[in-house]
């Protein structure tokens, strides 16, 4: 999987969603500067989680492993939550005056 930003959701990650938002902000600035589209992928594991070996492989390939919070979410919930947070980080919910 190749993307400008690959986010792996994992309950044992040390990076937080704030780290993701910082990366998204830098990616947005690059998009605005050169007009090129960028891609963001979110990896959500199955119920029971992604194995430590799989997470290591993603990180070694350049992905950012992050935890959404102190509660472990179901796989069917984690993806939509992450996409909603990404939309907020990208300013999609900002009200234009």
CATH number, residue 30 = 3.40.1280.10
Kindly state whether residue 97 falls inside one of the protein's structural domains. Answer: no
Nearest one of 92, 87, 75, 76 to 17, comparing CA atoms: 87
The pLDDT score that the predictor gives to residue 97 is 63
Kindly state whether residue 72 falls inside one of the protein's structural domains. Answer: yes
CA–CA dist 90, 94 (Å, integer):
9
The pLDDT score that the predictor gives to residue 1 is 56
Kindly state whether residue 96 falls inside one of the protein's structural domains. Answer: no
How many domains in the chain? 1
Nearest one of 56, 52, 66, 78 to 22, comparing CA atoms: 66
Q: pTM value?
A: 0.84
Kindly state whether residue 69 falls inside one of the protein's structural domains. Answer: yes
The pLDDT score that the predictor gives to residue 29 is 86
How many Å separate Cα 70 from the centre of its chain?
16
Segment-wise mean pLDDT, segments of 10 residues, the chain, 97 residues: 85 90 87 86 90 94 91 90 90 79
Kindly state whether residue 94 falls inside one of the protein's structural domains. Answer: no
């Amino acid at each position: 999987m190749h993307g400008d930003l690959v986010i792996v959701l994992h309950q044992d990650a040390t990076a937080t969603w704030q780290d993701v938002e910082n990366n998204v902000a830098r990616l947005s600035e690059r998009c605005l500067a050169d007009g090129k589209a960028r891609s963001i992928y979110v990896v959500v594991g199955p119920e029971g989680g992604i194995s430590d070996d799989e997470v290591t492989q993603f990180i070694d390939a350049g992905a950012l492993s992050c935890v959404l919070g102190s509660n472990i979410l179901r796989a069917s919930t984690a993806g939509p939550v992450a996409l909603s947070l990404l939309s907020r980080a990208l300013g999609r919910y900002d009200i234009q005056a």
